[in-house]
Chain A
Amino acid sequence: MVKNAAGRLVPTELSGIGSVRPFAGVTGVTTSPTFNAIAAVKRDVIPINTNKVAPDLRAAIERSGLRDGMTISFHHHLRNGDRVISQVLAELDNMGFKDLTLVSSALLECHDFVVDYINSGLIRQICASIRGAVGDYYQTKNEYLPPVVIRTHGGRARAVEEGSISIDVAFVAASACDKCGNMTGISGPSAFGSLGYGIHDARFARHVIAVTDNLVEFPLTPRISIPQYLVHQVVVLDSIGDPRELATGSIRVTKSPTQLALAYHAYELIVASGAIRPGFSYQAGGGGISMAVTQYVRAYMQQKGVAGSFALGGITADMVPLLEEGLFKALYDVQSFDPAMGASMLRNSTHYEIDASWYANPFNAGCMTHQLDVAVLGALDVDVDFNVNLLTGHNGRLRSGMGGHPDAAAGAALTVVVLPSFRKGLPSIKKNVQTICTPGACVDAIVTERGVCISPRREDLLKLALKGGVRVIDIEKLRMETETLTGCMDPIGFDESRIAAIVEYRDGSILDVIYGLKC
């Protein structure tokens, strides 16, 4: 174990994974001359006039050439409504496959069944953010499988492109697909919006299987997200999932007076910073507080007649009016947080569907997060060094994903992290966060309902905030104030002999590790 640039002890060698490099700072590896940004893509070729529509899932898997020990990929645009992974894994298990690597853009609570397939020997390794029963398994039961590799959305795209992840078979859910494999998520009864992560997987996988519940007449119209030349087979299932479950969880504007006050502080800071000027760009997370900030920003833009350039990220329904009112020229949508986003993409020619690499890959020729002026992002908790934890809860358990948080934070000129100072009686401002996901060097301000903490790196921002009447508070003072209410938390009982997961920074270095829990 060595201490990395974030001050965390991380391994340089991991069983089942091989050698890994420690985090060297937020720009640590970007100048490395040895970095190989694009791996050669080995894509299956199929004979002319092949009927791509497989009779069933089993037949498609048989034709894909999948073998034990290979890598399969999925995307999570249907979020908790997803029914594709369950059907595919069940079939793979029935067919007797073993030791597969499961790569997904995320695994959510609806994927708890994956534990069954770890136990059956079907899954040997997971590369995805995990939570729920899968997280519990890795932290409390796993004794022999390699740690889970948790990546940011941009980092996952980078890993796929550079070959750190080599996808043998990509299963891509499509709400509409034709017989040649042209597919999309933005139309059809199960429309879920952008196919951003799936697009990228399809581009780099050896073999791509479109999984749909809506086989349409060739050619697919009015929009194709993934073209037929990347798709080897089409499988029709009764259902790919329930898009109504896209917008569950935190994806609604908060009504809590405290959180609204918090959002207003963030908005005041953004205004005071001078960031809202003609042509500015913006990303807000899908959390209720971030969405409330967007409401205030929208009103300000309307009042002052300011038109920005683009909004980015996981796009929520509340962003579409900003596009349609002319407040932003374009929306760049890598993941839609509302089923209605498909209709917006069809209606609005500048509501763009973008892939994960375009969104946030740090090592391509220019991703969108690097163009951001303002990013408003949530957090589980933060520490006095402005480090952000997005993965582990107060009890140390894996409970959420990193998404594009570290990517947006790294790229944005102004990164504002919003969170309440405490939740359910437990403090959100820590001396040290349990898990670092976004390094403090990328965070300019932490906003709570009790005031705004500004990074010591940003003296310029501090001056503007004070001038703008923003309620600024020292982060150490805020931590102590919060602990007056909540008390200090007891240390979590980790089993440090066992690494359950590693947290990759977007450049592929190891930012932190997540240990198993003492049972």
Chain B
Amino acid sequence: MALKLKRSLLFVPGNNPAMLQSCASLGADCVILDLEDAVAPRHKDEARRLVTYALRCLSFGDVGKVVRINDVSTPWWEADLIEVVPANPDVIRLPKVESTDDICTVDRKISELERANGLPEGGIGLHILLESARAVENVANLVRSCSRVKGIGLGEQDLMADMGIRRTLSGEELAYVKSRVVLAAKAARIDCFDSVYTDIDNMEGLLASTKLAAAMGFAGKSAIHPSQIRVINEGFYPPEEILFHAMDVIAAAKVARAEGRGVFSVNGKMVDGPVIRQAIHVLAQAGIPCDPEEVLP
């Protein structure tokens, strides 16, 4: 199984050709080519064309290609899909999801376009963004609404406006919401992505925010400026001692599995299935592939 890191997701305005042609070179694991908030209504058409051209013509290497379309309450979402899906992005990101109907509507349209363009049906993933209290309250249903949903995130600005709360430095005001969304994502076996850190000059704050996100179980975090990418990647990278211990665990697990032992010790600590799964997760955060079938009892 090819392991693809998703720690950092860089937002790129879809109507900025200079940024589009260079965005895959900036070190982000994924780029989010934005047709929504970063693009003014009168520039939607040109953004769609540019993003489609970029997907077709530019080399993104192993950088994930995510396109954020406009939400289903707008007049643009369908045109977004009609132009973008044939260019085969990895993921469509759907903002302001309110109900399973929103997701199913978009899923059907993507499937139709995949069939029409000779693309494997279901090949394009879907990320959904929850930006209202109602959506968060319905999160368990939303993440299970269709198999295309591979990731979930929070649109924090809209959510806070909807909830009538203000941002604080510590971010405690969204702790419950984030935990709830992460839990729902984990239960559905999909990824959960943390929102942007808006103070682009505060790298210490960004690092702390990223480490917290990693600790809470988020798979990645969005970046609004290229200077944030390296900090986010660092924040998701496991501490050296934890990484080295995980590597020891995996090495010992391979031996134990071959010898038919389910429980063993590494560096004086007992190791069993859950510990091995944790070690696999740590290696994944460092971008080191590990096949669970080779190590789990």
Contact = CB atoms under 8 A, between A and B. Distances in A.
Contact of A484 (B22, B25, B58): B58
A258 B26 contact: yes
B95 to A, nearest CB: 25
A264 B227 contact: no
Contacts of B25: 258, 261-262, 449-450
Nearest to B225: A257
B22 A264 contact: no
Nearest to A486: B21
A484 B57 CA distance: 7
Contacts of B24: 450
A481 B22 CA distance: 12
A485 interface: yes
B59 A449 contact: no
A161 B154 CA distance: 70
State the main secondary structure of chain A at its contact with B.
helix
B230 A264 contact: yes
Contacts of B22: 257-258, 449
A485 B230 contact: no
A195 interface: no
B217 interface: no
Interface string B216-238: 00000000011100100000000
Given A450-B25, A485-B21, A260 B59 contact: no
Contact of A257 (B57, B58, B59, B227): B227
A257 B230 contact: no
Interface string B11-52: 000000000011011110000000000000000000000000
A108 B254 CA distance: 66
A485 to B, nearest CB: 6
B119 to A, nearest CB: 22
B27 A261 contact: yes
Contacts of A261: 25-27, 226
A261 B59 CA distance: 16
B227 A485 contact: no
Contacts of A481: 59
Given A257-B226, A264-B230, A485 B26 contact: no
Contact of A260 (B21, B61, B226): B226
Interface string A440-459: 00000000011100000000
A460 B48 CA distance: 45
Nearest to B287: A469
A485 B24 CA distance: 13
A262 B25 CA distance: 8
A288 B97 CA distance: 44
A419 to B, nearest CB: 13
Contacts, number: 33
Interface string A9-29: 000000000000000000000
Contacts of A449: 22, 25-26
Contacts of B59: 450, 481, 484
State the main secondary structure of chain B at its contact with A.
helix
Interface in A215-273: 257-258, 260-262, 264
Interface in A464-494: 471, 481, 484-485
Contacts of A260: 226-227
A260 B26 CA distance: 8
Contacts of B61: 451, 471
A417 to B, nearest CB: 17
B55 to A, nearest CB: 13
Interface string A475-519: 000000100110000000000000000000000000000000000
A449 B18 CA distance: 13
Contact of B57 (A258, A264, A471, A485): A485
Contacts of A451: 61
A254 to B, nearest CB: 12
A260 B225 CA distance: 13
A485 B27 contact: no
A484 B230 CA distance: 28
A257 B26 contact: yes
Contacts of A471: 61
A45 B230 CA distance: 64
Contacts of A264: 27, 230
A325 to B, nearest CB: 21
A261 B227 CA distance: 9
Contacts of A262: 25
A338 to B, nearest CB: 25
Nearest to A481: B59
A385 B27 CA distance: 27
Nearest to A420: B22
A485 B58 contact: yes
Interface string B185-201: 00000000000000000
A481 B57 CA distance: 9
B20 to A, nearest CB: 10
A471 B62 CA distance: 11
A302 B146 CA distance: 51
A257 B11 CA distance: 14
A264 B234 CA distance: 14
Nearest to B27: A261
Nearest to A469: B287
A451 B25 CA distance: 8
Nearest to B21: A485
B33 to A, nearest CB: 16
With a 10 A CB-CB cut-off, give which of B21, B24, B58 has the most chain A CB atoms.
B21
Contacts of A258: 22, 25-26, 226
Contacts of B27: 261, 264
A211 to B, nearest CB: 46
Contacts of A257: 22, 26, 225-227
Nearest to A262: B25
Interface string A405-421: 00000000000000000
Nearest to B59: A481
19 contacts: A257-B22, A257-B26, A258-B22, A258-B226, A260-B226, A260-B227, A261-B25, A261-B26, A261-B226, A262-B25, A264-B27, A264-B230, A449-B22, A449-B25, A450-B59, A471-B61, A481-B59, A485-B21, A485-B57
Closest 8 CB pairs of A and B: A257-B226, A449-B25, A258-B22, A261-B26, A481-B59, A450-B25, A261-B25, A261-B27
Given A451-B61, A484-B58, 10 more contacts: A261-B226, A262-B25, A264-B27, A449-B22, A449-B25, A450-B25, A450-B59, A484-B57, A485-B21, A485-B58
